[in-house]
Amino acid sequence: MKYAIVGTGARHAMFRRAVTETYEATNKLVGLCDSNQGRLALSAGKVPDPGGNGIATYQAEQFDDMLREQQPDKVVVTVPDYLHHEYIVRAMRAGCDVVTEKPMTTDLSRLKAILDAQEETGKSVTVTFNYRYTPARTQLKDLLQSGAIGDITAVDFRWYLDRVHGADYFRRWHRYKEKSGGLLVHKSTHHFDLLNWWIGSSPVAVSANGKRAFYTPEMAEELGLSAHGERCHGCPVSNKCDFFMDLETDGPLKELYLDVEENDGYLRDQCVFADDITIEDTMQVGVKYANEVSLNYTLCAYSPWEGLEVKFHGTKGELTHRHVEVHGVFGGKRERPQDDAMTTELHQAGKAPEKIDVWAGHGDHGGADPVMLGYLFDAETVGPDPYKRGSSHVDGAWSILTGIAANQSMATGQTVMIDELLSANGIKLPRS
């Protein structure tokens, strides 16, 4: 299989290594494309090159030339979220299948462009929902589909981002709603996808509240940081700021961003307390699903610890899963548990609660990424997936619709009916 990658920033390296190193026997990288010449060259320099000819690289405006000259079978899209649709659509129209990072896109007009192009071309779009592949979360699917708690009736789901990881969404393009869709699209696409998959349904009605409560100019003042600069690099108050990101001393970040920023003005370390941020950091969403399951969801981006808690209520009992990814942030340092601290408890009505041995894995995102890469790049060896974790454009669409509707609900104060949203925008989507 021949691959090209567009967007050679932080995330693309996982895909590049999978194609050129882990699964190189059956795959070939034929081109790299980016708008930043420096990041493009950096990535090209890391591609194993036994023939000595180097990998073909293309500037953003040469993307179509890359497809014509290199004839990839699949294009991997790892540009910022608001640009996904441009490359997904152009790749499909050039006859390529697409593997795209999440979220598939950020708003309804971009979603329509992707769905229309997919329908016209018949090409496939795979959205890389790695969270489905975390063994502990696959196990929840296994327990739920085995009927352990009977019919699922309601879910409580809370996701906490700590003050290192959470803060990072307020430093660069993610912090503008038009570029990321806000955290209810950018981040929660993972969570709403898990929910759609776990409960086997899709959202019909969404209401939400949200605000920016912590990453604000007022908080900078309260913390004695009101003299902060536009960015961390050279900031006059960096020595007393817990949110200081030191690009100069972090080798990988320095070469990927600081050393090449004169090419495009992309500042990786903008101040998290800036006035022009347009996304929320505190969000609560209520969802009703087509199969009558109801959901209470919370996302907080400045918690003192990082992890998740989910409780499924069912006609025969309850299933509860908790994952402490980071115990706490102390003076900018993140204290991780020795092993990922995950617990799952099954409490069937009339019986004592039962601790379940949690399925374990190794690698990034709780062991998810290596499993997903096997299915993506070596499907014949790993065989069919009993949990149907591969995600199409339809899954990608449903996973962002909850967040898009929640954004509308936050703006209007009204409950948003998804079918009305879709028909008002000329979008037809099958329900699972």
Ligand X SMILES: NC(=O)c1ccc[n+]([C@@H]2O[C@H](COP(=O)([O-])OP(=O)(O)OC[C@H]3O[C@@H](n4cnc5c(N)ncnc54)[C@H](O)[C@@H]3O)[C@@H](O)[C@H]2O)c1
Residues forming contacts to ligand X in the complex (CB under 6 A) are 6-11, 33-36, 39, 60, 78-81, 83, 101-102, 128, 130, 365
R_g over Cα of the chain: 22
* Closer Cβ to ligand X, 204 or 267, answer by number: 267
Q: How far is the CB of 352 from ligand X (least distance, A)?
A: 37
State both tokens at 80.
């910022």
Q: How far is the CB of 262 from ligand X (least distance, A)?
A: 13
Question: How far apart, in whole angstroms, are the C-alpha atoms of residue 15 and residue 376?
Answer: 10
Contact 281, 301 (CB under 8 A): yes
* Closer Cβ to ligand X, 78 or 201, answer by number: 78
Q: For residue 432, count other CB atoms closer than 10 A to its CB.
A: 14
* Closer Cβ to ligand X, 10 or 94, answer by number: 10
In DSSP notation, 161-203 reads EETTHHHHTTSSGGGSHHHH--HHHHTHHHHHHHHHHHHT--E
* Closer Cβ to ligand X, 32 or 235, answer by number: 32
Q: How far is the CB of 392 from ligand X (least distance, A)?
A: 16
Contact 295, 153 (CB under 8 A): no
* Closer Cβ to ligand X, 4 or 220, answer by number: 4
Q: How far is the CB of 252 from ligand X (least distance, A)?
A: 11
* Closer Cβ to ligand X, 85 or 313, answer by number: 85
Q: How far is the CB of 17 from ligand X (least distance, A)?
A: 14
Contact 17, 45 (CB under 8 A): no
Q: How far is the CB of 34 from ligand X (least distance, A)?
A: 4
Question: How far apart, in whole angstroms, are the C-alpha atoms of residue 408 and residue 422?
Answer: 13
Q: How far is the CB of 152 from ligand X (least distance, A)?
A: 25
Q: For residue 380, count other CB atoms closer than 10 A to its CB.
A: 6
Q: How far is the CB of 407 from ligand X (least distance, A)?
A: 17
State both tokens at 124.
């496939």
Question: How far apart, in whole angstroms, are the C-alpha atoms of residue 334 and residue 326?
Answer: 6
What are the b/e assignments for 34-72, b being 16+ CB within 10 Å? bbbebbbebbbeebeeeeeeebbbbebeebeebbeebeb
Q: How far is the CB of 103 from ligand X (least distance, A)?
A: 7
In DSSP notation, 361-413 reads --SHHHHHHHHHHHHHH-HHHH---TT-----HHHHHHHHHHHHHHHHHHHHS
* Closer Cβ to ligand X, 148 or 368, answer by number: 368
Position with the least CB separation from ligand X: 9
Q: How far is the CB of 121 from ligand X (least distance, A)?
A: 21
Length of the chain: 432
* Closer Cβ to ligand X, 11 or 316, answer by number: 11
Please measure the distance between the N-terminal and C-terminal CA atoms of the chain and give it in whole angstroms: 30
Question: How far apart, in whole angstroms, are the C-alpha atoms of residue 330 and residue 33?
Answer: 39
Question: How far apart, in whole angstroms, are the C-alpha atoms of residue 380 and residue 374?
Answer: 9
* Closer Cβ to ligand X, 7 or 314, answer by number: 7
Question: How far apart, in whole angstroms, are the C-alpha atoms of residue 34 and residue 80?
Answer: 11
Question: How far apart, in whole angstroms, are the C-alpha atoms of residue 263 and residue 279?
Answer: 27
* Closer Cβ to ligand X, 11 or 46, answer by number: 11
DSSP state of 55: -
